Copies of this chain bind each other. A is one copy, B any other.
Amino acid sequence: MRPVPTIEQEREYQEVRAAAARIRPYVRHTPVLSDERLSERLGAQVFFKCENLQLGGSFKLRGATNAVQLLTEGAAASGVATHSSGNHGTALAIAARRRGIAAVIVMPRNSSAVKLDAVRREGAQVVLCEPGRVAREAALAEVLRTRKMEVVHPYDDERVIAGQGTAALEFIEQLPGLDLLLTPVGGGGLLSGTAIAAKALNRGIHVIGAEPEQADDACRSFRSGERVLLDAPDTIADGLRASLGVRNFAIIRRLVDDMVSVSEEAIVAAARLVLERLKVLIEPSAAVPVAALLEQKVHAPKACVGIVLSGGNLDLGAASWLTGAR
């Protein structure tokens, strides 16, 4: 049990609550699903918050909408820009369209066709760059050199963190008995927001982040206390290739209980298992916390476990790993 919340934690929590009220007209209240046979297979009673069924196909709409709705009229008029491996880009494009402002999204060339299409369909302008953090940031700086736009960072932004925390807020309202919350970790937006909301609502709840072994900067940072940066790690979980943000790392060190990593094989098996048993499509990034239970990186035999299924954007034409004989 942790100590009584500090004034800072209380302020962060109130920002999540305010975000929830602010974004309500623009986001879906996603269902929580569960399946007895899937729980048996995962060795715990597991409930899934289906942000893969969120508008835009991921939780990212929550943070992007909060950031865009918080802009002053003056700032909003110039439009918004970001770099994103995909889901944040789609989300920011949707959020900008709903407010009637322009959006420029810098995306790596190896983004899936589905994600590129989704961003363009929302009316945003896509600027392609080479994969990797350094190239992305350079491409975004180039955009900003010629156009004065408000940057909405995919995770290292308090408005975004507060927005992402609303998924856990809803989840715990839907299911107050959760003992443990598991989320994937890329840049740490979802995990940091989740920890703020969950620890404020229930000091006894455990919050654990899960990431691919092949992109394990968050585990290394969490263990060493120093923020480790990886450039363009290779994993099927394309949404988790980013390294922890500064703000995210600070919140995670303060509030998160543990961090685990999983194999690529377990990610694939977990996505397939969720499709077969829960009947919902998740992208590999969303399968990472499920893989943590599957590989027994997290043991919680008597716990009521909540997993945020972060997204469901997948190019079926390139996803033959999801079906067919093994």
Residues of A within 8 A of B (CB): 31, 33, 37, 52-53, 57, 114, 121, 272, 275-276, 278-282, 312, 314, 316-326
Bound-state Cα–Cα, A114 to B276, Å: 10
Bound-state Cα–Cα, A275 to B52, Å: 11
Q: Are A317 and B325 in contact (CB under 8 A)?
A: yes
| Cross-chain contact of A326 among B278, B279, B280, B317 (Cβ < 8 A) | B317
How distant is A6 from chain B, measured CB to nearest CB, in Å? 38
For A282, the chain B residues whose CB sits under 8 A away are 279
Residue among A114, A280, A318 with the most chain B CB within 10 A?
Answer: A280
For A318, the chain B residues whose CB sits under 8 A away are 324-325
For A323, the chain B residues whose CB sits under 8 A away are 316-317, 319-324
Contact status of A316 and B312, CB under 8 A, knowing A275-B281, A281-B275, A281-B280: no
- Which B-chain residue is minimally distant from A52 (CB atoms)? B279
What is the interface of chain A mostly: helix, strand, loop, or mixed? helix
Q: What number of copies of this chain does the assembly contain?
A: 2
Bound-state Cα–Cα, A276 to B115, Å: 12
Contact status of A322 and B326, CB under 8 A, knowing A37-B121, A280-B281: no
How distant is A286 from chain B, measured CB to nearest CB, in Å? 10
For A280, the chain B residues whose CB sits under 8 A away are 53, 279-281
Bound-state Cα–Cα, A37 to B312, Å: 15
Q: What would 15 A/B residue contacts be, using CB atoms closer than 8 Å?
A: A33-B53, A57-B279, A272-B316, A275-B281, A275-B316, A276-B281, A276-B314, A280-B280, A316-B323, A317-B326, A318-B325, A320-B320, A320-B324, A321-B323, A323-B324
How distant is A59 from chain B, measured CB to nearest CB, in Å? 13
For A275, the chain B residues whose CB sits under 8 A away are 281, 316
Q: Are B317 and A53 in contact (CB under 8 A)?
A: no
- Which B-chain residue is minimally distant from A114 (CB atoms)? B276
Bound-state Cα–Cα, A318 to B326, Å: 10
How distant is A53 from chain B, measured CB to nearest CB, in Å? 6
Q: Are B324 and A319 in contact (CB under 8 A)?
A: yes
For A321, the chain B residues whose CB sits under 8 A away are 323
Instruction: Identify the 4 closest CB pairs spanning chains A and B, nearest first.
Output: A320-B324, A279-B312, A279-B281, A319-B323
How distant is A187 from chain B, measured CB to nearest CB, in Å? 23
Bound-state Cα–Cα, A275 to B322, Å: 12
For A279, the chain B residues whose CB sits under 8 A away are 52-53, 57, 280-282, 312
Given A320-B324, A322-B323, 15 other A-B contacts at CB below 8 A?
A52-B279, A272-B316, A275-B281, A276-B281, A280-B280, A280-B281, A281-B281, A316-B323, A317-B324, A317-B325, A317-B326, A319-B323, A320-B320, A321-B323, A323-B323
For A57, the chain B residues whose CB sits under 8 A away are 279
Bound-state Cα–Cα, A316 to B281, Å: 12
Residue among A279, A281, A321, A324 with the most chain B CB within 10 A?
Answer: A279
Bound-state Cα–Cα, A53 to B121, Å: 29
For A31, the chain B residues whose CB sits under 8 A away are 31
